[in-house]
A and B are shown apart, each in its own frame.
Chain A
Amino acid sequence: GAGVSQSPSNKVTEKGKDVELRCDPISGHTALYWYRQSLGQGLEFLIYFQGNSAPDKSGLPSDRFSAERTGGSVSTLTIQRTQQEDSAVYLCASSLVRGLNEQFFGPGTRLTVL
Chain B
Amino acid sequence: SQQGEEDPQALSIQEGENATMNCSYKTSINNLQWYRQNSGRGLVHLILIRSNEREKHSGRLRVTLDTSKKSSSLLITASRAADTASYFCATAINFGNEKLTFGTGTRLTIIP
Binding site for B on A (CB under 8 A): 4, 31, 33, 35, 37, 41-45, 48, 50, 56, 58-59, 89, 91, 93, 95, 98-108
Give 17 A-B pairs besides A42-B88, A58-B99 with Cβ atoms closer than 8 angstroms: A31-B98, A33-B99, A35-B100, A41-B104, A41-B105, A42-B4, A42-B102, A43-B43, A43-B102, A45-B100, A99-B95, A99-B96, A100-B30, A100-B92, A101-B98, A107-B41, A108-B41
Q: How far is B36's CA from A21's CA once the two chains are assembled, in angstroms?
A: 23
Q: A89-B41, A91-B42 are in contact. Are A59 and B99 (CB under 8 A)?
A: yes
B68 at the interface (CB under 8 A from A): no
For this complex, 16 residue pairs linking A to B, each with C-beta atoms less than 8 Å apart, are A4-B42, A41-B105, A42-B88, A45-B99, A45-B100, A58-B99, A89-B40, A99-B95, A99-B96, A102-B33, A105-B35, A105-B43, A105-B44, A106-B42, A107-B41, A107-B42
Q: Decide: B104 and A104 in contact? CB cutoff 8 A.
A: no
Residues of B within 8 A of A59 (CB): 99
Residues of B within 8 A of A41 (CB): 104-105
Q: How far is B101's CA from A45's CA once the two chains are assembled, in angstroms?
A: 7
Q: Decide: A104 and B40 in contact? CB cutoff 8 A.
A: no
Q: How far is B33's CA from A58's CA once the two chains are assembled, in angstroms?
A: 21
Within 8 A of A (CB), among B15-53: 30-31, 33, 35, 40-45, 48, 50
Q: A98's contact among B45, B88, B96, by CB below 8 Å, is which?
A: B96
Residue among B45, B97, B99 with the highest chain A CB neighbour number at 10 A? B99
Residues of A within 8 A of B31 (CB): 100
Q: Decide: B95 and A100 in contact? CB cutoff 8 A.
A: yes
**Which residue of B has the minimal Cβ distance to A104?**
B45
Residues of A within 8 A of B40 (CB): 37, 89
Q: How far is B42's CA from A89's CA once the two chains are assembled, in angstroms?
A: 10
Q: Decide: A48 and B2 in contact? CB cutoff 8 A.
A: no
